[in-house]
Amino acid sequence: MTDAHATLLAFLGSFGLLAGYAARVAIARQQARESKLRTPEPPRAERRPGSAVMTEQKPRSTINK
Amino acid sequence: MDRWRKWSVYAYWGLTLLVLGFGTVRAVLAPIDATWGPIQKLLYLHLPVAANTFIAALIVCIASVGYISGRKQKWDDLAHAAAAMTVLNGTVLLITGMFWAKISWGQWWTWSPRMTFSLILWVLYAVYLLLRARIHSAERRAVVSSIYGVVAFLDVPLLYLSVKLLPDVHPTSSGMTPAMYSTLWIWMVGITMFSLGTIALRYELAQRLGPRDTAPVGPARPAVAGMAR
């Protein structure tokens, strides 16, 4: 292997590592974005037994009667 | 706003590729060094990745201090992203250095101070990543790795001082022509843009995934394969 070949090999190997990592991060980022788009938003108020959200309210129409 | 941001990311990466492509052309066209021969062209990659290894390690240190002082998850995400880049740049630094050593001195490795401290730096940040993978609680992981991130940075001044104070077999850049210097600076800009851009991408990915505890055993993994926190 000549010096020029060794230099080229080192360049290509290094480029492969750098580009491979960047591509991997970019793909993972894209996948994370897509999975977030697919997942529905969770409800704003979490309903727990006994919490104020779970307390049933009477219909307004019955208050004045 | 989102569209503007998307296009700015594309523009940034397009510009980075353009600079690196221009740098490659310049590296091919640059004169061959009379003393070192074609292997001297490796310097255009070797020196910028060395500088960016230090920059990424500095970002890890600053982000770790930020996490320790504020306990905000974003700092831990930034430190993790920068640590991965430190290891990657360190790997390229060692690979190009070993090729240079083989061709110039006839052996793949010499235990010169600069090479030894570079290897120690690489090992320190590789251990940082392994340490993170082994701690399953998100908060504990952030605390431990931030303390480790500050301590690991102590190797960088040692490496810098070893360059200045200790005798070394490393060549100096005094024999470079102006054309070689300009090529080196193009590479320096290109690799720095690439490095910072990749840190930003990884940071954004971590922000999207959010802090999460990992399972100690079994197949439970984050949703994105291969990007375990």
Q: Which token pair is B188?
A: 């320096």
Using alpha carbons, list the distances in angstroms from residue A64 to A55, A56, A59: 20, 18, 10
Cα–Cα distance between B183 and B31 in angstroms, integer?
Answer: 10
Q: Is residue A44 pLDDT above 70, yes or no?
A: no
Query: Touching check for B205 and chain A: CB below 8 Å?
Result: yes
Name the residue among B131, B122, B89, B91 with its Cα closest to residue B229: B131
3-state secondary structure of B225: coil
B225: left (phi > 0), else alpha (psi -120 to 50), else beta?
Answer: beta
Checking ipTM against 0.85, whether it exceeds it is no
Residue A25: which of B45, B103, B205 has the nearest Cβ? B205
Pairwise CB contact (< 8 Å): A21 & B198: yes
Number of C-alpha atoms within 13 angstroms, CB side, residue B165?
Answer: 6
Q: What residue in B sits closest to A14 (Cα-Cα)?
A: B92
Mean pLDDT throughout B127-134? 94
What DSSP state is assigned to residue B37? B
Pairwise CB contact (< 8 Å): A11 & B45: yes
Cα B185 to its chain centre, rounded Å, is 17
Query: Touching check for B198 and chain A: CB below 8 Å?
Result: yes
Q: How confident is the model at residue B57 (pLDDT cuts 50, 70, 90)?
A: very high
Q: Which token pair is A46?
A: 């979490």
**Phi/psi at B218 (nearest 5 deg)?**
90, 180
What pLDDT digit, counting tens, does each position of B205-214 carry? 998 887 777 7
B166: left (phi > 0), else alpha (psi -120 to 50), else beta?
Answer: beta
C-beta separation of B185 from A9 below 8 A: no
Q: What residue in B sits closest to A10 (Cα-Cα)?
A: B96
pLDDT of residue A40: 63
pLDDT of residue B32: 82
